[in-house]
Structure 1
Amino acid sequence: MTRVLGLDLGTKTLGVALSDLYGWTAQGLTTIKIDVQSNDYGIDAIKQLVDEHIVSEIVVGLPKHMNNSIGESGQRSIDFSKMLEAELPSVKITLWDERLSTVAAERVLLEGDISRKKRKQVIDKMAAVFILQGYLDQPKKEIQHDK
């Protein structure tokens, strides 16, 4: 069985979540430090996670504006997904609308009375969990068999 990796791309960190073997639940895995200015998106660390956890698909959060348009952050996610496709040709890369995932993650952490310092450390990983869980919860299309 294979797993799905969920990624929340920030400007300084990349939040990472991983599905269970059945693709039912998402768990926070790690946060990877990145440097957008120097074009370092943690691709080597992602490759290692893909190999270590037998990942067949990566879901990249696509931040959109509420009017469905794509801004600078959204374009960065699109470009990042293209990098992943080039570096990991055997892994399916999917962009997933992540509107309000960081807001939802922040709300959960606030309700859990997590300190500001601790929230800052885990917010991207938690947002990746929300992105991946949203993807995993979508109704799966029936597979059609042509005869």
Structure 2
Amino acid sequence: MTNTLSRIGLDQEQSQVLSNKLNTLLANYQLFYMNARGFHWNIKGNKFFELHLKFEELYNDSLIKIDEIAERILTLGFTPLHTYEDYTQISAIRQAKNISDGVEAVKEILKGYEVLLPLERELLELAGESGDEGTNALMSDYIREQEKLVWMYSAYLG
């Protein structure tokens, strides 16, 4: 039985499944990050200062999460995706190009969370089933933070 366990004591087949799903999350985060960065750069209008800062917070937070997800994949013993081609092929989040309107940008952010949160919930469930507390804790933290952000961005839209 021990020959199917990884160095961190998790079943290797289950870890492969988790790593594949984490790579899907990673790809989606990369597109989410790029979109938030573009919104930060291109935002215009009377809410410029407010949204410019919010989008900067979002892309900085996304960059941290991207690194955490990639490192979790490595910890599980697998390789994180690392090409933009891979990201665009498997991401459900699409590129949002040339958006400068604040309302439209916030709607795109909320669309991103509509992809990220279900993926994170799926990972939370898979991690729980396989006894992977590391992935479980990461997803639990992400979900808690993002549920609040969804509420806040939704409130912004009225």
Compute the TM-score of the two structures, normalised by the length of structure 1. 0.28
- Specify the structure having the higher radius of gyration (Cα): 2
Q: Write 1 or 2 for the structure with the bigger share of strand.
A: 1
Q: Write 1 or 2 for the structure with the bigger share of helix.
A: 2
Compute the TM-score of the two structures, normalised by the length of structure 2. 0.26
